[in-house]
Structure formats: structure tokens, C-alpha cells
Amino acid sequence: MTVKRDTAVALSFLLAFLVLSYAVVEKDVMGLSKNPLRPLGEFYLGHAFASGELTSHSPEVVTAIVWNYRGFDTLFETFVFFLAIMGTLSVLRLREGQERMVRDMERVEPHRHMDLIVRVITRLVLLMIIGISASIALHGHLTPGGGFQGGSAMAVASLLLFAVFSKFTLERRGLTLRHTLGAYAVGIAIILLTVYAPLALGGRFLQINLLPGELGLFDLDVGEYLAVSFGFLSVFLILGVSEWIFRRILRGEVR
Amino acid sequence: MKPFGRFSAGTFLLVFLTYIFYTGSATGYDVITGTLVALVVSLLVGRWVVEDDRKVFQPRRWLSAIIFFLRYFVVEETRTHVDVAKRVFTLRTRPGIVRIPLDVKSDYARVLVANSITNTPGTVVVDITDDGKYLYVHWIDVSSLDEGEIKRNVVSYFEDYAGRMFD
């Protein structure tokens, strides 16, 4: 029954995709091919990487738009993410004594770990994901991608780590919430510095021309990469405590 | 905390090559940033994936890896694909789960054997014991219950090469 339904869904998606692409590409339904480039698009393409007045020093137009032409929007998105992390911290973060209680209780909990094959392969894959996410982030000013995309890929690596090992694997190896929040703060600081520095140098807010040549938006990508990957990792570290442990500690709090 | 005591050249190479391969170019900028990223990663978690760096840089291990992968993907895969394709039409199967002892010592060698078995049609590794010494394999044609016979059929030469590569 379900197999039939799945097949029907898959086939209808395929059909819809074929019909849509045929209509758009062959029959020119939406008039995309005859439509000339709009003035706004022309402006972005012409100015993103140029020597004129309104350039953003970035060969990658999408990054130029995201960080410069609509920079306020991105800045406030970063603040939204900041608020989400602060919210998690203020509601769920444990005091030092409670952290110790969690560690004691975790020792009692029967330890489940995945089998050898999963653990070995995951370690290799994790390192490769880290390399790829860094590549996405550090080439944000050259190719599609950027700090947020790289950070999201990194968050996948953290999730994989949490699923296969546990949050205590990280903490035993010396990476605690304090470190991840520190790295997150460094990322936010890089972003804020880049955004406010032009004011001190006699420019306007968000007038980001600090680095030479193609590197116009490089520092923002690095900052966002750090902020997103370590922001997610911090949240996962907080949420990674087993529910029964958390409940017991919260109940102790009430008493 | 001795960060430099944990540095591993093998980890560095893995991250660096992944970085360059994914980027798809090797300009000065790529090499510099890739080196930085790989340095940071290998300083932080160097000993996590590579226990003994000397093994990474022994040519004979890489040589046996190349021979194994050629022999595996060209000969073994073809043979087992044909075998299973025949069984699909003749329906001549004797499915069952067999236990296979492993002789190789290192984790990577055990995983290589297990994944090679899973990757050939007709055999799937169902479980591995916690100490890594036994595999439980679902086999499409349990033609024998003798341990040596099973091993010859299912594991064949995977274990020799895995041992030469990782042990």
C-alpha cells in the first residue's frame, strides 16, 4: 500500500518537473528567455567587482548582495541567530555544580555506542566534512557558498558526531561549552569589527572595503563561518544532555 | 594539553587533499588557506584518525591498496554481480547468517574487510562484535557450514590485503 503511494508521489513529482521544465525551457511560458536583464540586475553585475564608487570588491555577485547591498538584512539575521543562542543559553544552561551532577549521572546511564564500522567511518567522514565546510566558507567571495553555508555544513558534522559518539566525547577531549562560546564570540567580533570599522576610518556604516583586491568580503565570511559553526555546536552541547538527567536536575532546582 | 604532541601528518594530508579536491583549484590562496585549515584540524584532533603516522607514508601499503582496489572492483565485483544476477533468474538461493572470525588486528583493516563484504552483491555484514573479532554476515548461498570454507567463499583475499594495508 505504502509502496504504491510512494511510487505515485515520486512519479507525480517527476512528471511535474518534466512538464515545468518543458514549459519554461522549450515553450518559454514565463517569457524568461525574451526578458532582458532588469536594470537592478544589470547594476549588481556591473558593480559587484569594479573600481567605481558603489562596488563591493567581490567577484561573487550573490555574496556581494548578501553582505553588502543588503548588508543590513544579513547583519540583523546574524543578530537573530545571536538571540536564539542567547535564549538557549539563558533558559537551559547549567551551573557548574549542575554540570558535575550531569557528568556523574551520565556515568550511571548504560553506555550505548555504535559499532566499530560506524565509528571508524564517521571519524574519517567528519574530518572530510570539516575540510569541505572550510572550503565552502573560505571561498565565499569567489564561488557560490559563504560563511553561513560553510557553517551549516559544519553543523552537520557536529550532528553526526553527536549521533555516533556523544557530547561527552568532545568534553573528555577538552572541547567544552566555554571554548565553543569563545570561538562564537570571536566570529561575532570579526563581523562587528568589519561592519563598524569604516565609521572610524571616515566611511559609512557597512562600507566594507577593508581588504584589498578580491578579498573584499573575506573577513565577513570567516566571521560568519566561525559564528554559525560554533553557535550551532554550543547549542548542541547544551541540548545534548539526556532528558531524564535534565529533568532530575531541574526538579532539584525546584526543591 | 600539548597541542604539538597531537599533530599528525596523515590527518593533515587527509584534510588538505579533501580541501583542495573539493575546491577544484590550487592557486596560492587555496594552498595557503587549505594548509591553515589542515594545520588547525590536525593539531586539534590529529591522533583521532591516525594512530601511527609512519604507516601512512609507507609506499608498500599504498601499493597493496592500489592492487587490492583494482582486483576488487574489476574482478571480484564483476564475478559476484554475475553470480547474483544468475540467482535472480534461477531463484537458487540458500540464505542464512554465518559467523566469520577476523584475523586482522587494526580497526581500519576490520572495517575494510566488513565494508568490502557488504559491497559485494550477495553478502551483507549484519553485525560486528564489540571487540571486533567476529563478523555476522548474511549470505545468499550458505553452501557450507565449515568455518574455513565459509571464509574462503565470503572473505576470500580481502583479509590479506587489509592486513598488508593497515596492520
SS3 label, residue B94: strand
Q: Considering CB atoms only, which of A124, A132, A174 is closest to B49?
A: A124
Cβ within 8 Å, pair A132-B18: yes
**What ipTM did this prediction achieve?**
0.86
Q: How far is CA A238 from CA A92, A180, A189, in A?
A: 7, 11, 22
SS3 label, residue B132: coil
Q: What are the structural domain ranges in chain A?
A: 2-35, 57-254
Q: Which residue of B has its CA nearest to A143?
A: B23
Segment A177-191, tens digit of pLDDT: 888 999 999 999 998
∠ CA A147-A232-A156, rounded to 5°:
75
Question: B-side interface with A, Cβ within 8 Å?
Answer: 1, 11, 14-16, 18-19, 22-23, 30, 33-34, 37-38, 41, 45, 48-49, 107-108, 110-111, 114-115, 125, 127-128, 130, 132
DSSP state letter for A117: H
Q: Which residues of A69-108 are buried (b: 16+ CB within 10 A; e: fewer)?
A: bebeebbeebeebbeebeebeeeeebeeebbebbeebbee
B99 lies in the same domain as B155:
yes
> Among residues A38, A154, A81, A48, which one has the least CA distance to residue A73?
A81
Segment A145-180, tens digit of pLDDT: 888 899 999 999 999 988 888 777 777 777 788 889
Q: What is the pLDDT of residue A111?
A: 64
CB B107 within 8 A of CB B132: yes
Chain B CB within 8 Å of residue A206 CB: no
B92 lies in the same domain as B23:
no
CB A164 within 8 A of CB A239: no
Contacts of A121 in chain B (CB under 8 A): 111, 115
B81 lies in the same domain as B112:
yes
B72 lies in the same domain as B51:
no
B64 lies in the same domain as B104:
yes
B28 lies in the same domain as B77:
no
What does the pLDDT average to over A3-28? 89
Segment A46-101, tens digit of pLDDT: 888 777 777 777 788 888 888 888 888 888 989 999 999 999 888 888 888 888 88
B114 lies in the same domain as B130:
yes
Chain B CB within 8 Å of residue A213 CB: no
B68 lies in the same domain as B149:
yes
∠ CA A173-A176-A181, rounded to 5°:
140
Cβ within 8 Å, pair A130-B15: yes
Contacts of B111 in chain A (CB under 8 A): 116-117, 120-121
Domain range for residue B134?
58-166
Neighbours of A241 (CB within 10 A): 19
With a cut of 70, say whether residue A1 has pLDDT above it.
Answer: no
Contacts of A136 in chain B (CB under 8 A): 22
Label residue A64 exposed, middle or buried (CB < 10 Å: 0-12, 13-18, 19+): buried
CA-CA distance, B135 to B121, in Å (whole number)?
17
- Rounded to two decimals, the pTM is 0.83
**Domains of chain B: total:** 2
Q: What is the pLDDT of residue B1?
A: 43
B158 lies in the same domain as B82:
yes
Cβ within 8 Å, pair B125-A124: no
- Looking at the complex, report in whole angstroms how far the Cα of residue A135 sits from the nearest Cα belonging to chain B: 6
B157 lies in the same domain as B101:
yes
Segment B90-143, tens digit of pLDDT: 988 889 999 999 888 888 999 999 999 999 998 999 999 888 889 999 998 888
Q: What is the pLDDT of residue B25?
A: 85
B104 lies in the same domain as B23:
no
Parallel, antiparallel or unpaired: strands B134-139 and B96-101: antiparallel
Q: Which residue of B has its CA nearest to A215?
A: B29
B106 lies in the same domain as B122:
yes
